[in-house]
Amino acid sequence: MNWFLLLFSVFVLPANAETLKVGSKRFTESYILGEVIVRAAGDATHRPGLGNTGILVAALKSGLIDLYPEYTGTIAREILKLDGHPALEELHRALAPLGFGAAVPLGFNNSYALAMREERAQLIGVRSLGDLAKHPALKFGLSQEFIGRADGWPGLKAAYGLPFATPSGLDHGLAYEAIAAGRIDVMDIYTTDAKIERFGLRSLEDDRKFFPRYDAVLLYRLEVPKRFPEAWARLQKLERRIDERTMIRLNAAAELQGRSFAEAAALLDSGSVQKTERKFLAVLFGPDFWRLTSEHLLLVFVSLAASIAVGIPLGILSQKVKAMTQVVLGVVGMIQTIPALALFAFLIALLGAIGTVPALIALFLYALLPIVRGTHAGLEGVGKGMRQAALALGLTDWERLKLVEIPLAMPSILSGIKTSAVINVGAATIAAFVGAGGYGERIVSGLALNDGATLLAGAIPAAALALLVQGVFELGERRFGWMARAGLRSQV
């Protein structure tokens, strides 16, 4: 276990444990606000795109982050389950038993709304949310978080009596492209989205005042002001500095002008900043490349090592003890059928933490099946004659397994390990959705911005790593297979 803790501390934990750790959600505005906070605090690090509200709250509880930008309506409805429109002071008091606080109102309200293309809304006469009920054939494309929130689709549908089934979730950035192409009619938006005007959308009037105010604030661990007094004093200077027009301008800089999140955040102080040309190679080998590579390698190979240590004995057990064959193969096969995000969510709830640990456990579980099956199949393929020859030589069961059966089964075992390694390289990209980093972090950012260069800068290294891992294991299979056969001949 010591080697795991060492790797974890080297690759995952920040070098300075007293550095303020800032998180953000998986949409453009939250990324930018995270960068704004880091710039204002001075000595701080940013863990971008950790996920939705539940994951960020879990990150706060576990200490993975110290604070992140949040909205008063979300705090009231999603975190505290409060009705009405409590003031910031009330929210702060209600958060105290959780060890959290809310402060530093940034100066703008970013509410939820539903929107349609202007020409489509005019054609069918939709001006408000209440008008939607008159058009049951409309197609909705809503973000996953909006569908699951109490102050999102479930509450909105009940409040307005909307006759629509719950739609399938659609990434927020992709929904704009879908509505522009006419594949959907209605989407959820944030009122500070930069793309509203660009795509010619009409924000539908909330005539029953369902949505509360979503004033941007800092949600933080109560210990932060004492642990980081200087950074906290600087953060308080952000109070009321960002109005809605300014936030829309910062969002537009990232989404419409192709600036990085850091460049967009810098506009708050300078009003203008030199835009860096976003060439693909510059994005690919950006300053985060080696950090993401080390995180991805950690996820893949630590989980793979654990899977090998457990999977090979399980494969041997399933072949030697016939009563256990279907039990072992059935369990590892069942694990493989669980969707990755569902398994991550279960582990987060079970462990009460996000990040590397639940990701490693999930990848370990996913890697078991090929290794167990490869070991089982390899041992099954050992000829009866070879076993009888080993018995004739007077070898014990353990010696026969170690000196004859495992060497002969090694090509099949290595093939299973190779398959698990390649699977883990791809599956590790999903770990970014729970704050574990790796190349998936770029894929998440690219989805938020609908930026193909950033998406490819995450997908291509992952694909290249998968090909490299497969090539290395194939070379190892051939070399180890030859050595195993030579060793077996020397024993026999």
Which tens digits make up the pLDDT trace of 349-373? 788 777 788 899 999 999 999 999 9
Starting at the edge strand that comes first in sequence, how are the strands of the sheet with 186-190 ordered?
140-141, 186-190, 112-117, 201-203
Indicate whether 9 belongs to any domain. no
Indicate whether 486 belongs to any domain. yes
Is the domain of 427 the same as that of 392?
Answer: yes
Number of domains in the chain: 3
Is the domain of 222 the same as that of 157?
Answer: no
Q: Report the pLDDT value the prediction gives residue 482, as an integer from 0 to 100.
A: 55
Is the domain of 301 the same as that of 181?
Answer: no
**Residues 184, 185, 189, 195, CA torsion sign:** positive
Indicate whether 422 belongs to any domain. yes
pLDDT per position as a tens digit, 362-406: 999 999 999 999 999 988 888 676 666 666 666 777 777 887 888
What does the block give as tokens for 20? Answer: 């303020």
pLDDT at 11 over 50: no
Q: Report the pLDDT value the prediction gives residue 230, as an integer from 0 to 100.
A: 95
The whole-number average pLDDT for the span 277-299 is: 85
What does the block give as tokens for 414? Answer: 């290595």
Is the domain of 363 the same as that of 464?
Answer: yes
Is the domain of 221 the same as that of 312?
Answer: no
Is the domain of 256 the same as that of 337?
Answer: no
Q: With pLDDT > 70 as the criterion, what percentage of the chain qualifies?
A: 89
DSSP tag of 182: T
The whole-number average pLDDT for the span 93-107 is: 96
pLDDT per position as a tens digit, 110-126: 999 999 999 999 999 99
Is the domain of 236 the same as that of 331?
Answer: no
Whether 78 and 229 have beta carbons less than 8 Å apart is answered as no
Q: How confident is the model at residue 282 (pLDDT cuts 50, 70, 90)?
A: confident
How many other β-carbons are positioned within 10 Å of the β-carbon of residue 445? 24
pLDDT per position as a tens digit, 428-483: 998 887 778 899 888 887 876 667 788 889 999 999 999 999 888 888 767 765 55
Is the domain of 313 the same as that of 271?
Answer: no
Indicate whether 11 belongs to any domain. no
Q: Which of 426, 451, 450 is nearest to 280 (CA)?
A: 451
Indicate whether 338 belongs to any domain. yes
Starting at the edge strand that comes first in sequence, how are the strands of the sheet with 67-71 ordered?
44-47, 20-23, 67-71, 216-221, 100-103
Is the domain of 242 the same as that of 334?
Answer: no
Is the domain of 80 the same as that of 181?
Answer: no
The whole-number average pLDDT for the span 285-308 is: 92
Q: Report the pLDDT value the prediction gives residue 317, as an integer from 0 to 100.
A: 92
- Domain holding 174, by residue range, is 112-203
Is the domain of 81 the same as that of 65?
Answer: yes
For the domain that residue 360 is a member of, what is the CATH number?
1.10.3720.10
pLDDT at 488 over 70: no
pLDDT per position as a tens digit, 20-47: 999 999 888 999 999 999 999 998 999 8
Q: Report the pLDDT value the prediction gives residue 483, as an integer from 0 to 100.
A: 53
Is the domain of 390 the same as that of 249?
Answer: no
For the domain that residue 46 is a member of, what is the CATH number?
3.40.190.10
Q: Report the pLDDT value the prediction gives residue 122, as an integer from 0 to 100.
A: 95
pLDDT at 3 over 50: no
